[in-house]
Amino acid sequence: MNKTIAFISQKGGVGKSTLARAVACDAFKSGLSVKLADLDIQQGTVTEWHRQRLNNGYEPVGSVELFSKASLAVEAAGNHDLLIIDGAPRASSGTLDTAQQADLIILPTCASRDDLVPAIKLAYELENKGVQRNKIALALVRVSTEAEIADARDYIGQSGFTVLTGCLYEKPAYRQAQNDGLSVTETRYKSLNNKANELLESILTHLISE
């Protein structure tokens, strides 16, 4: 396996770095060699999180590095099984470059129309610029109720883009875990870890099928 997965969005704060960290964590634990590329050169969220992780004595998630462009991350990834790209906070000219480098592009979105509309718009923009539709998948994050999940799935469904099974609920325990250098699958609560794992498994399954 030599695959690249990218997390991008038009809006900031939708959960790119959260999912990128969790995928890196799960893939590393399942024995893959992982490179986690941090394209957020201003905030360095993932890089800082990894420093915190090692500082607290937890095992690494592979090699984590800052890059100014996705293509440089791909060059540096060499023989890693999995390259995970955490995109810049907002869509920019680099977003298309990032998408073009990836086998699977995940657009995380919350369930509000405020977030769904720009996520679907970005999916259409990528498609219009030549990115294959089947490489794009939306992931529901920071959701609260079954009703809003169903509503969001329905709304995305109308666009015809894929929405992944599973979702990430809005929980302070997920924030707390990440504060400590852990991923959303490594909280103190088994049920929350299991819930998060449903979405992560769906991401990895989707990647393997690409």
Ligand X SMILES: Nc1ncnc2c1ncn2[C@@H]1O[C@H](COP(=O)(O)OP(=O)(O)OP(=O)(O)O)[C@@H](O)[C@H]1O
Angle at alpha carbon of residue 7, lines to 5 and 11, rounded to 5°: 165
Q: Do residues 18 and 184 make contact, with C-beta atoms less than 8 angstroms apart? A: yes
CB atoms under 10 Å from CB of 98, counted, come to 27
How far is the C-alpha of 62 from the C-alpha of 35, rounded, in Å? 6
Taking the least distance from each CB to ligand X, the nearer of 15 and 62 is: 15
In the complex, least distance from residue 170 CB atom to ligand X, rounded to whole angstroms: 4
Residue 167 C-beta: closest distance to ligand X, Å = 9
Binding mask 15-44 for Mg ion (x = CB under 5 A): -xx---------------------------
- Rounded CA separation 130/136 (Å): 12
Nearer to ligand X, 121 or 175 (CB): 175
Instruction: Output the residue with the shortest Cβ distance to Mg ion.
Output: 17
171 binds ligand X (CB under 6 A): yes
Whole-number Å distance between alpha carbons of 115 and 122: 11
Among 103, 127, 170, 210, which residue sits at the site for ligand X (rule: CB under 6 A)?
Answer: 170
89: its two tokens = 């906070």
Q: By rule CB under 5 A, what count of residues binds Mg ion?
A: 3
**Contact map string, positions 36 to 75, toward ligand X, x by CB under 6 A:** ----x----x------------------------------
Residue type present at position 59 = E
- Spatial distance between the Cα atoms of 36 and 196, rounded to a whole number of angstroms: 19
175 binds ligand X (CB under 6 A): yes
* 4 scored as a contact of ligand X (CB under 6 A): no
What is the smallest separation between the CB atom of 42 and ligand X, expressed in angstroms?
A: 9
CA atoms 109, 115, 118, 121: torsion sign: positive
Which residue stretches of the chain are H helix?
A: 16-29, 45-55, 70-77, 93-101, 113-128, 146-159, 172-179, 190-209
Does 45 help bind Mg ion (rule: CB under 5 A)?
yes
In the complex with ligand X, the residue whose CB is nearer, 29 or 171, is 171
Residues in contact with ligand X by the rule CB under 6 A? 9, 12-18, 40, 45, 89, 141-142, 168-171, 174-175, 178
Residues in contact with Mg ion by the rule CB under 5 A? 16-17, 45
